[in-house]
Structure 1
Amino acid sequence: MAPVPTYASTSTTADVISGLKESLITQRAPALPRTLHDVLSQAAERYPSHELGFITSSAHDSSIQTKTFSAFNQYVRSLARAMAAWNKPAGSVIVVYLTEHEDNMAAVWACLLAGYVPCLQPALSAQQAHKEGHVAHIKNLFSSATWLTSEAGAEQVNSISGLDIHLLSELKASAESCAVSDEWVAHEAQADDEAILFLTSGSTGFSKAVVHTHRTILAACYGKGESYGLTAESKVLNWVGFDHVAGSLEMHIAPLLFGASQLHVHASAILSDPLRFLRLIDEKSIELAFAPNFLLAKLTRDLEKRTDLYGAFDLSSIKRINSGGEAVVTKTAQAFAATLKKLGRDSEKVSFTISPGFGMTETCAGCIYDPVDVLATQPKHEFLNLGRPIGQCEMRIVNPEDGTSLRPDGESGELQVRGPMVFVRYYNNAEATSFSFVEGGWFRTGDVGIIEDGVMRLSGRIKDTVIVHGVSYGIPELETYLQTVEGVTHSFLAAAPYRASGQETEGFVIFYSPSFDLDGEDASNKLLATHTALKDISVKMITLPPQLIVPIPVNQMEKTTLGKLSRARLLTLFKQGGLAKHIARAEELISEARGATFVAPSTDGEKALASIYAGIFNLGEGEVSASDNFFELGGTSIDVIRLKREAEAHFDLPEVPIIQILKHPIVSSLANYVDALRNKDGKPQEYDPIVPLQLTGKKTPIFFVHPGVGEVLIFVNLAKYFQNERPFYALRARGFEPGQPMFTSMDEMVTCYAAAVKRTQPVGPYAIAGYSYGGVVAFEVAKRLEAMGDEVKLTGLVNIPPHIADRMHEIDYTGGMLNLSYFLEQLEVVWKLAPPERLVELQLTTAKLDHWVAIARSLIECGKEYVPSGSVSSVDVFYAIPLRGSKSDWLNNQLKPWAGFSRGEPSYTDVPGQHYTLMDFDHVPQFQKIFRARLEARGL
């Protein structure tokens, strides 16, 4: 087949511009916008009453703050006038570091109108060294250090010298006295002026700053608007952060260009409550939204069994859902679309396309799309195609070796794109800019693609990154840490991105040469230890274990003439079966190592539980040992509930308490407990607050105190990240088991917990932490241990102030944060509204719920009179979005007083999520990294 030169949009450039002009003329528009200034002026003039809506990170309901286009235009021009008083030269770069959509949006427009160039800064690393290195790099890159941020942002960077920090709150205050016209600008922009800078992820090193001009952004937005079918009547829902090109350009400036109303929602509001996504589509008649593959999968998992919600939403307005960040699994898209059909009030009116797209920061986000009705048209591949270019964009596939030789239709190669929406350069980085382009203005995306009949799909990536749930992680950094594992031959290890058939997100494979002889003495145990260590590091760094680890003898591991391993070659060999003998040998050795410690289940109870374990973890029944630990096999909090239900069904028991599963995770131990229940000879166990969630590893153990409801299941997902590193113990409140009295005072609780910690770990140093209410208990336990002469190196306080007496009406309730006083008054209402299947799953009865509430009430009573006093050697405070108020107020006015109870310098570390979601599946991977960094900083 002859090579196909390039592929462009089915619409020509002239068609796009002509169509847009006709649309604008029909609507009696002024001249076609030449700059972003024109876009804002035109939107305010022609659609003054259209709205920008915002749901903030601190909103606990769907309350929306709105500004009309006219009011927003006036607001940002006043900000710009106040900003111009900074008297910086036109074209000065301003680093914008804010979290809320409205603040970011206003700051960017104010910079543009004041004649400055905004650079949007994503969330900074929680690790001080990384953060300082990045900020220093940015300062050097721009030869300036002007930052516009919030009080919380300023707190993060105030330890870094030489920054010119301006607070948005102060800028707003100054703007109140600035009276400006609806057309005021400090500087008339030109089409090719620098407009907005975006930072790359920096997954393979320090971030590069991508320069987009007014021309590149407008070209992209014209093409996107045509592709989406945007009109002035469209309504758009966005929850992508504004620091991302998709959030700012694709979901804000493009809709603004066409006059479309917009609703911008903080990501935490959607991730913590996926139903909100559907409620907003229903209530606001949303036409266009964005949902990456992992959210499609999450929504489907959460909603497909919610038969009580079938027909509950009006979803007739939604016409298109864009998806990007990672490949979209065809089955996931189909399941999602089918689920939305069932949830729709009138399924016949639920008709929309899911539109996977390809785009990069360098291309103003999506520039290639393939909108498809996945229920009406059967996709041909495991992943949805990415489609055809938008107007004025071209794409081609070339030989990655020379970057210019065209590949025939249907053959894979490097994807290259060109068009007026492609960035002009990397700021102050001519070398990287030059490398990124080849003759003819083609941009090298670094992705491997295939084009068939003008439709593109990706088949891999040349770049050194792996994308997990839409987040990019650097392969070189991962490899650097993996190289340190005992058993790995130095410089003979490579990790390569790989997505197995049917997998929801991308994964990776590790190839390495063992430093020991695979046919030598004790090879099986050495191999098992090496693979265990490689998995542990992978989980800690990128939240995911490798799909496979392939040991290859060093004399069979080929390197290039430059002495490097070729990931591409190794991955090709793997896919073609060329490494099958090495994989088989590894499986043989690891099976041998496990066999040496394998204890065959012998009793009926052990055999039954081994079978249940095997089903949960997709293992063969003969693969589960009587000595296997549920959590070391990978059990999560959700898996615990499944184990509980299946054990109760199999053994015909009314209840197997969750706490007993947590205390007896080993097959044989749980079998003994179940046998005792069945024989009705189980003696009441003496109360022990310690619940061991993870017992492997030799580093200092962690003790985590329960939140305000007294339970510890919330820590299961966190504990697994410490496997083979350090034991993880949770402390559970007294009163859950029959006959156990509840605590009556803080002193009684602290005395009990301190004794239990000493009994479990007789000598220090200690690491004590507590979540919410548990934070003040952890502080008191640490004080008690220090009074005994012990060393406490870490006292971790998670989102709780020292003075809690007046906050006892805001205690956690079952993983969401319900106001408990309200809950107590409205218990009957809550009970009626609760999903029936969830009540069955948790086996909640009104009696059990009443008892749980009684335990929470007892803890409240213990805290009502609590007055903090004394001090510990140091405190580490972790803060998330509070129950009410702003994050900066929460930090500065509520949490900073912990300094008065710390003899050493306290640390205050921002963590993702809201108060009640920071330990959930979406946020615990990042929380564990941050928490581990503080442990290391404290010498643990």
Structure 2
Amino acid sequence: MTSSASDLTLHQRLAEVAIAHPRVRTTFWSLSQSTLSHAELQRQSVAAAGALLARGIGRGEPVGLLCPNAPEFLIGLFATTTAGGAATPLPLPAGARQLASYPARLAGIVAAAGMRTILVSPQFAALVDPLRAAMDVEFLDTAALFAESTTTAELPRVDPDDVAVVQFTSGSTAAPKGVRLTHRQVLAGLAAIRTGIDLGPADQGGFWLPLFHDMGLIGTLSAILRGIPAHLWSPTAFVKDPERWLREFAASGSTISAMPNFGYETLLAAVPPDRAADYDLRHWRIAFNGAEPIVHTVVREFCARFRPAGFDPAAMFGVYGMAEATLAVTFPPLGREPVFDWVDRVTLSDYARAQRVSPDAEGARAVAGVGTAVAGLRLRVVDPDSRATVPDGEVGEILIRGESVTDGYLTADPASTAELFTEGWLRTGDLGYQRAGELYVTGRSKDMITVRGVNYYAHDVEAAVRDLDGVYKGRCIAAADPDGGDTIVVIAETDLAATATEELGTAIAGRIAARLGLTAVRVYPVAPRSIPRTSSGKLRRLAARELIATETDSEQPCTATTSSAITSASTGGWVTSTSTPSTPRWSGPST
């Protein structure tokens, strides 16, 4: 990417890449290894932009992309920006059990964005009729649209400060918001990534996260707009057969990948120690680990398990990022093995201070170091009330500002996001501390649970019980009591028979009491894959609380363990309005 990249648009940068690297390809492994060269991507997106212009797409108008990790997503994205619109990746249903709630979920996003048009992949044609009943938008089949493509249309002028992408946040702690990202901001974020990992012509990207998620989208764009090969898999391919994904990833020659912590945990569960050396992972140079808490045991075991395969522990790259910053906020130094700070859990939660202790000390908690601010971005850790910068080792809210940081949102309630900005700084809602310039993220402010005047990080509660026998793949979630009582509720996935769930609940409550000194606990066993998660795998604690409040009898007594069949948890628990604005709002509200 040239030094003047910030003065370009995304499609202008793609045009440069298509000229310099026309035959370099993006490979879609989940689609019988279909490929799309950079030159083909540029040519087809320009032609499709003409078809969009013929349909009246306006400058800055959000255009939805309802597509999998497939060529039509990338063509649709660059076609939208070439036509002057704002490409808006839309979440896909995670499975059959989410189909019932999916139209209402999507309608909430459509309403917030004031969206009029959605590009739909042919493989999602069956969704169109149910979606039409929930929202008043035009659905355009990508195959039909591309067939109408023309290269004779007069393309509009697009400025670097025009909105290029509207990235809806994952919704781990609230209903998602549409992050407005200009061409300049996206390219600044990509430049920061390139600099931070020294992304060069010998690299190749390999990604399985969905393209509608910021880590999947920006990771893929970082490869394409660098002019290097990209390899894409579907999230389903990874989840269904992670060992096969690792084999294909190794065969692809990819050097860069990105996934949340649970992805590395999934690979550990899929590949036993005696088969780890079967893979040649010597070329895996950067293994981004972000989007959810980085777990010390998973990182340690992954590095040890795959060292015989040539995996370099220094490749494990723990990072901090968010959609509002075009993904990258902090990176660690290249060539450094993962760093963890062992601190006292009670002092951290009750006194907001990171007091160092021995890893063997009772109540010791490992907090991952995620490096320093990337190029072009500044970071502060402040007292949430006074906004004063806190000293090293003290926990506060993380604030950011810089070239890649959004200046606003698309939302049905602009007032709800105005408070997220203070004197030019974006409030992330994340808590953390700094030590010798390194950032350590401790959790989300909305995930802090207070019981009888004592603070607890939800992550600490979950970590205490996730390894218990009977907890399905360690999947559990902790949240404050939705009824407002001095109780923590724990939802634990289990495949045990109903007769054994009471015993599991007792074990969970006992472990939390022993580890954290917390006795006011209610446990809700649920079926596997029931806990709501975001597209990147983060736990949706607020959605889980809403499900408990909805599904349980308000007269049910608060006990140490309570069995509950929260069968609707698999729908995602998304609460949104299905109404759409009477007038288009695609110019975006001020914030």
TM-score by length of 1: 0.47
Deviation at 1:255, TM superposition (A): 2.0
Aligned to 1:42: 16
Matched residue, 1:216:
185
The amino acid that maps onto 1:245 is D
Out of 392, 398, 413, the residue aligned to residue 382 of structure 2 is: 398
Matching of residue 52 in structure 1 with residue 26 in structure 2: yes
What is the aligned counterpart of 2:278 among 302, 308, 312?
312
Per-residue CA deviations over 1:336-389 (Å, capped at 9, x if unaligned) read 1122122x2xx4x85641111111111111221225767x67644424211111
Q: Does 1:282 align with 2:253?
A: no
In structure 2, the partner of 1:114 is: 83
Map residues 11-410 of structure 1 onto 2, 5 A cutoff: 21=2, 34-56=8-30, 59=31, 63-124=32-93, 130-150=101-121, 151-175=125-149, 178-179=150-151, 186-249=155-218, 251-305=219-273, 307=274, 309-342=275-308, 344=309, 347=310, 350=312, 352-370=314-332, 379-381=340-342, 382-402=366-386, 404-410=387-393
Per the alignment, in what secondary structure is the counterpart of residue 406 of structure 1?
coil
Q: 1:460 to 1:930 in 2, by over 3 A?
A: closer
The one-letter amino acid of 2:372's match is R
**Equivalent residue of 1:158, what SS?**
helix
Of 84-93 and 202-211, the range deviating more from structure 2: 202-211
Aligned to 1:508: 478
RMSD over aligned CA atoms reads 4.4
In structure 2, relative to structure 1, the CA distance for the partners of 1:930 and 1:508 (3 Å cut) is: closer
Cα distance between partner residues in 2 of 1:412 and 1:546: 33
**Using a 3 Å threshold, how does the CA distance of structure 1 residues 535 and 141 change in structure 2: closer, same or farther?**
closer
**Does the 8 A contact of 1:367 with 1:389 survive in 2?**
yes
SS at match of 1:198: strand
- The answer as to whether partners of 2:113 and 2:178 remain within 8 angstroms in 1 is no
Following superposition, the deviation at residue 546 of structure 1 comes to: 11
Match of 1:421 in 2: 404
Distance 1:159 1:546 in 2: 45
1:583-636 Cα deviation digits (max 9, x unpaired):
2xx69x99xxxxxxxxxxxxxxxxxxxxxxxxxxxxxxxxxxxxxxxxx99999
Give the structure with higher Rg (CA).
1
Separation in 2 of the partners of 1:214 and 1:100?
22
Distance 1:166 1:444 in 2: 37
- The 3 A distance-change label for structure 1 pair 546 and 453 is farther
Partner of residue 777, structure 1: none
CA distance in 2, matches of 1:546, 1:158: 47
- Name the amino acid aligned to 1:368: T
Letter in 1 for 2:303: A
Identical-residue share of aligned pairs (%): 21
SS in 2 for 1:463: helix
| CA deviation map 1:788-836 (0-9, x unaligned) | xxxxxxxxxxxxxxxxxxxxxxxxxxxxxxxxxxxxxxxxxxxxxxxxx
C-alpha displacement of 1:75: 1.7
- 3-state SS, counterpart of residue 232 of structure 2: strand
Distance in 2 (alpha carbons) for counterparts of 1:165 and 1:634: 36
- Tell me the SS of whatever aligns to 1:95: strand
Structure 1, unmatched stretches of 5+, are 1-19, 25-29, 466-474, 480-491, 519-529, 551-570, 591-631, 637-721, 727-924, 934-940
The equivalent residue for 1:848 is none
Task: Give the structure 1 partner of residue 458 of structure 2.
Answer: 497
Higher relative contact order (CA 8 A, sep 6+): 2
Q: Is the 8 A contact 1:216 1:422 kept in 2?
A: yes
- Tell me if the contact between 1:113 and 1:185 (Cα under 8 Å) persists in the aligned partners: no
- Equivalence for 2:588: none
Aligned counterparts of 2:164 and 2:483: Cα–Cα separation in 1: 49
Distance, in Å, in 2 between the alignment partners of 1:513 and 1:137 is 26
Return the letter of the residue paired with 1:929: S
How many angstroms apart in 1 are the aligned matches of 2:103 and 2:480? 31
Partner SS, residue 40 of structure 2: helix
- Alignment partner, residue 453 of structure 1: 436
User: Which shifted more, 257-266 or 123-132?
Assistant: 123-132
What one-letter code is carried by the residue in structure 1 that aligns with 2:29?
A: I
1:598-677 map, 5 Å: none
Q: Counterparts in 2 of 1:494-893, with a 5 A limit? A: 497-500=458-461, 507-508=477-478, 510=480, 580=517, 583=519, 725=565
Q: Which amino acid aligns with 1:339?
A: R
The amino acid across from 1:313 in the alignment is Y
The alignment partner of 1:263 has SS state of: strand
Please give the alpha-carbon distance, in whole angstroms, between the structure 2 residues aligned to 1:725 and 1:433: 35
Q: 2: distance between equivalents of 1:931 and 1:113?
A: 34
Deviations, residues 508-538 of structure 1 (Å, cap 9, x unaligned)? 25569999xx9xxxxxxxxxxx99xx66798
* 1:431 corresponds to: 415
Cα distance per residue 1:622-669 (max 9 Å; x no partner): xxxxxxxxxx99999xxxxxxxxxxxxxxxxxxxxxxxxxxxxxxxxx
How far apart, CA to CA, are the structure 1 residues paired with 2:490 and 2:212?
32
Q: 1:929 aligns with which of 562, 570, 573?
A: 570
Q: What SS does the corresponding residue of 2:210 show, helix, strand or coil?
A: coil
The CA distance in 1 between the partners of 2:272 and 2:185, in whole Å, is: 41
Q: Are the aligned partners of 2:166 and 2:180 in contact in 1 as well (CA < 8 Å)?
A: yes
**Equivalent residue pairs, number:** 498
Q: Given the superposition, is the C-alpha separation of residues 138 and 334 from structure 1 closer, same or farther in structure 2, using an over 3 Å criterion? A: closer
Q: Shift of the alpha carbon at 1:931?
A: 12
Change (3 A) 1:207 1:278: closer
Tell me if the contact between 1:294 and 1:505 (Cα under 8 Å) persists in the aligned partners.
Answer: no
Q: Which residue of 1 aligns with 2:498?
A: none
Q: Is the 8 A contact 1:216 1:423 kept in 2?
A: yes
Contact 2:479 2:490 in 1 (8 A): no
Does the 8 Å contact 1:230/1:260 carry over to 2? no
**Cα contact 1:509–1:547 (8 A) shared by 2:** no
Q: Structure 1 275/128 Cα, relative in aligned 2: closer, same or farther at 3 Å?
A: closer
Q: Cα offset for 1:265?
A: 0.8
Contact 2:315 2:335 in 1 (8 A): yes
Amino acid at match of 2:18: A
Which residue identity lines up with residue 460 of structure 2 in the other structure? R
Q: CA deviation at 1:498?
A: 2.9
CA apart distance, 1:507? 3.8
Partner of 1:412: 395
Q: What code does the residue aligned with 1:389 have?
A: A
Provide the C-alpha distance between the structure 2 equivalents of 1:725 and 1:576, rounded to a whole number of angstroms.
27
* Cα deviation 1:472-519 (Å, max 9, x = unaligned): xxx9xxx9xxxxxxxxxxxx9x9962325575778425569999xx9x
Contact 2:81 2:87 in 1 (8 A): yes
For residues 449 and 138 of structure 1, what CA distance do their matches in structure 2 show? 30
Which secondary structure state, in structure 2, belongs to the residue aligned with residue 90 of structure 1? coil
